[in-house]
Chains A and B, each alone.
Chain A
Amino acid sequence: MTDYRPAGEDFGARLSFDRGEPGRRAVDVPCWSGDESPLPDAHLLRDSLRLPELSQGELVRYYTALSTRNYGIDSGTYPLGSCTMKFNPKVNDLIASLQGFAEAHPLAPEEDMQGTLRTLLELRDGLAEITGLPAVSLAPAAGAQGEFAGVLMIMAALQDRGELAQRRRILVPDSAHGTNPATAAMAGFQVTQIPTAADGSLDRDTIERELDETVAAVMVTVPNTLGLWERGIEEVAELIHEAGAYLYADGANLNAIMGRIRYGDLGFDVAHLNLHKSFSTPHGGGGPGAGPVCCSEELAPYLPTPILEQGDDGVVRLAAPERSIGRMQQFHGNVGVLLRATAYMRALGLDGLRSVSGQAVLNANYLRVLLHGWYDLPYDRPVLHEVVFSGSRQRREHGVRTYDIAKRLIDHGFHPPTVYFPLIVEEALMIEPTETEPPEAIEALANALIAIAKESAEDPAALHAAPTTAPIGRLDETAAARRPVLRWQPPSP
């Protein structure tokens, strides 16, 4: 990041609304020279609109300045655990922006959309192969919406079995992403939390005790958020099915196992994927993503609308599954993201995807070994795609919190890892390097974290004051929540 603005300037204090002058404009609009139609009655019309008035150059400078106050993967290592911040290949953006793809109207006749639909069909078939789950809908816009679709599908299947009234509970591990319990609740289920055993896997005794005729499903993240394989998951799947419940896979961590093992083969009934994680589509500062949902033949009739069907004539069409839970969006999903994901899948092929998961796991273990001894490692065993350290020793011995460690890492030029998650690890530092970091970047990250560990003993105040090199220092989040200022207001006269 470079910031060429005057050092003393309080850049954030002046929004675009506070810049420019009345009468300036960034674009011009053609004049209408034909017959004038009268406008609707005045009471239906707006009389004023407050928006910024900037020339084109001013507006471009303002947003360019904002971009320099941001850190992306293209800026440097971004080891945000559970987020799979890998390099985003630029060819994917190029492909999604091809005019024939980018300008297509969503209601265009399917015969006119075969280029897009055939490409999406290729993605659908690829995801079915990769997950071992034969039926796929590409409709969900993000992981959480894919989860919602998956849980609604389970709900619909239970309704058809006549068991929905009795099966009101969903079991969720205490290490789960927050979206899992939130999704279960949004679908109207009660959430029962399953503790994690000492080896980092689900506590089998609790599962066996809780599984009964009131359980609708168990949601499991594989590998889990500790970066560990869920030991005995096949036997757990059998227990779940014997109890008449479904097994849901949160596929956020697919990057660890792509091409090596499949949810369907392990006994999962339904899974969502996060294409903005494993399939390299850019995250955009909080979306757009895509969260396809993949499932067994049994659940296929309930998939969200639309699904893709190829007729005997070879034409690919959009279709509604027989017992569909319905639409997730007004149209067909985040197609631009799906096209990028297809390009990624095609650029790698099976061997490439296996190299991805292999290198992602190797990189996480390399980091684990480099940092071993410097930070506590509550689940000390080989990991898959990510490793979760704890800053509790630094807190106990030096009064330095993980929060401080994260902020200090910014001064070393890195984006911090995920912190304070999973909730079961105190002072958690959850690090996912991904396969696209070279070994020297992992070594540099490790060296920075080691330097910070040393500094926490020698000069804890430096950590409390961090970051000092970012565009702005620590912000008062308590004040932000206590007295919310959530929009621009004109300066009071």
Chain B
Amino acid sequence: MSSPHPYIPATDADRALMLERIGVETLDSLFHDLPASRRDPAISLPPALTEPELIALLSERATENAAPSRPSFLGAGAYRRSVSSIVAHLTSRSEFVTAYTPYQPEISQGTLQSGFEFQSVVCELTGMDVANVGLYDVASATAEACLMAARATKREAVALLEPMHPGAIDVVQTYARGPALRLDVLDSPEFVSEAHACLVVQQPDFLGTIRDLAPLADAAHARGALLVVVADPFALGLLRAPGDAGADIVTGEGRDLAGGAAYGGPSLGLFAARSQFLRQMPGRIVGRTREVEAGDGREPRTGYVLTLQAREQFIRRERATSNISTAQALIALAFTIAVQALGPQGLRESAELCYQRAHDAARRIAAIPGFDVPERGPWFQEFLVRGPLAAPQLAAESSARGITPGLDVSDRQEPEADEALLFCVTEATPDSHVNALIDALAEIGAEA
């Protein structure tokens, strides 16, 4: 070690003094327990960069991605949202950013009280009794919901209702390997049976359609199964709360409202449930309490702590409800501030704006000769588009015109998805992008 690095404060002189006080000759001697034959292997890493070099290199890399200005109509689990400028501002405050999990509540009230705010927001949106402070993402939260339902019902199979995000099905399958749960992917809720711990449904579903949840709750409950609803929290600004329609567990993805797709992560899994499942829940939970009597006659003040920790890995070890430790706290803070900034009116207006803009775009596409928007029922922000070309060709022709089209879903079994792309338009899709899309599709239609 010679030239100091900006991240490492000790100088050579510091080190010499420290070694002397420790009573060893060299730094290497502190590693003498490590097997000599294995020490200091050849390792090939790219050379170190100074900060200006690092910024230059990675800024160039960022431009190697498609330009953020390129029109894109991808949704399918990640949605462009209008996020208030205050979200990034407040969540960049380093007391939030550089704190660890709040093990010392007296100096972690910022994280803890925010966590309590988050739980409250999630409960209000979902119509559930209790929420945790968040899991990794919607799919892993849904997988945890399936494991919890299996524990609560003592059943060994779970049912997922199509259309469901294929990535979510895949993650549930991964998690189900542990307790060896059987996974049944159903085309119809009538196939839910007494073997199933839960029926999992997505709201809106993977193809964008708004579900009527109450009959699904009835179908599940009639078989003794729980209803798990995988809900888009933004859409819940407009749609009935799943809890009011009979859901037992609600999961969701908070990343988009928190401020950015970031190629899919960091994400934020929302997890809420009815109160009877509280002690079965995975993840950390914040509770409200008061100071212990100070003994100075002062009224004890209100504070927040991590609570019900007897469910958790660091206490319960192999009998924990989940192994989760580090989750997505900073994204949960961003989500909370974003939703609270919108407030009850703003969230409703924003969700309605999203609905209107998506429907307007769909109407304009359907009016282009050769194009069709097959509907499967009421929908929110995603819609199927069929053109005069097969889906892959339509996608390629759009891309060639500088537009990233909707996701190709033509390999799905639903008849409406045949030869279709799944387009998404939200409140944050620029008008100019929609106009460019209409022009491009009209051109494709005219040439076909």
Which of chain A's residues have a CB closer than 8 A to the CB of B415?
none
Most chain A CB inside 10 Å of its own CB: which residue of B8, B27, B360:
B8
Which of chain A's residues have a CB closer than 8 A to the CB of B106?
407, 410, 467, 470-475
Q: Are B340 and A484 in contact (CB under 8 A)?
A: no
User: A484–B285 Cα gap in the complex (Å)?
Assistant: 10
User: A328–B312 Cα gap in the complex (Å)?
Assistant: 20
A348 contacts the other chain (Cβ, under 8 Å)?
A: yes
Q: Could you mark each residue 61-100 of chain A with 1 if its beta carbon is under 8 Å from any beta carbon of chain B, else 0?
A: 0011011111111110010100101111101011110111
Assuming A262-B38, A289-B326, A486-B286, is B64 touching A49 (CB within 8 A)?
no
Which of chain B's residues have a CB closer than 8 A to the CB of A63?
90, 93, 114, 337
Q: Could you mark each residue 85-120 of chain B with 1 if its beta carbon is under 8 Å from any beta carbon of chain A, else 0?
A: 010011011111111111111111111011011011
- Nearest residue in A to B278 (C-beta to C-beta)? A484
- Nearest residue in B to A46 (C-beta to C-beta)? B240
Assuming A330-B267, A485-B287, is B104 touching A410 (CB within 8 A)?
yes
- Nearest residue in A to B106 (C-beta to C-beta)? A470
- Binding stretch for chain A, among B190-198, B351-359, B439-447: B351-359
Which residues 172-230 in B have Cβ within 8 Å of A in the complex? 173-174, 177-180, 210, 212, 214
Cross-interface CB contact of A15 among B101, B120, B260, cutoff 8 Å: B120
User: A52–B317 Cα gap in the complex (Å)?
Assistant: 38
Assuming A15-B113, A67-B95, A355-B8, is B86 touching A59 (CB within 8 A)?
yes
Q: Are A115 and B46 in contact (CB under 8 A)?
A: no
Q: Are B65 and A333 in contact (CB under 8 A)?
A: no
A386 contacts the other chain (Cβ, under 8 Å)?
A: no
Which residues 123-164 in A have Cβ within 8 Å of B in the complex? 126, 129-130, 132, 141-145, 147-148, 152, 155-156
Assuming A95-B54, A369-B22, is B356 touching A351 (CB within 8 A)?
no
Which of chain A's residues have a CB closer than 8 A to the CB of B239?
44-46
User: A346–B55 Cα gap in the complex (Å)?
Assistant: 11
- Binding stretch for chain B, among A181-189, A204-212, A447-455: A181-189
User: A69–B116 Cα gap in the complex (Å)?
Assistant: 14
Q: Are A108 and B107 in contact (CB under 8 A)?
A: no
Q: Could you mark each residue 1-36 of chain A with 1 if its beta carbon is under 8 Å from any beta carbon of chain B, else 0?
A: 100000000111101110000001111111010111
CB distance from B164 to the nearest CB of A (A): 11
CB distance from A444 to the nearest CB of B (A): 13
A479 contacts the other chain (Cβ, under 8 Å)?
A: yes
User: A64–B337 Cα gap in the complex (Å)?
Assistant: 11
Which residues 405-444 in A have Cβ within 8 Å of B in the complex? 406-407, 410, 415-416, 418, 421, 435-439
Most chain A CB inside 10 Å of its own CB: which residue of B265, B329, B355:
B265
Interface residues on chain A, number (Cβ under 8 Å): 203
A119 contacts the other chain (Cβ, under 8 Å)?
A: yes
Can you give 13 A-B contacts (C-beta < 8 A)?
Answer: A98-B59, A100-B62, A112-B65, A113-B66, A132-B41, A148-B178, A186-B147, A330-B167, A343-B58, A345-B45, A346-B57, A436-B8, A488-B117
Most chain A CB inside 10 Å of its own CB: which residue of B236, B278, B291:
B291
User: A32–B351 Cα gap in the complex (Å)?
Assistant: 11
Q: Could you mark each residue 30-47 of chain B with 1 if its beta carbon is under 8 Å from any beta carbon of chain A, else 0?
A: 111111001111011111
Q: Are A286 and B102 in contact (CB under 8 A)?
A: yes
Q: Could you mark each residue 245-268 of chain B with 1 if its beta carbon is under 8 Å from any beta carbon of chain A, else 0?
A: 000000001000000111111110
Which residues 258-310 in B have Cβ within 8 Å of A in the complex? 260-267, 278, 284-292, 294-295, 299-305, 307-310
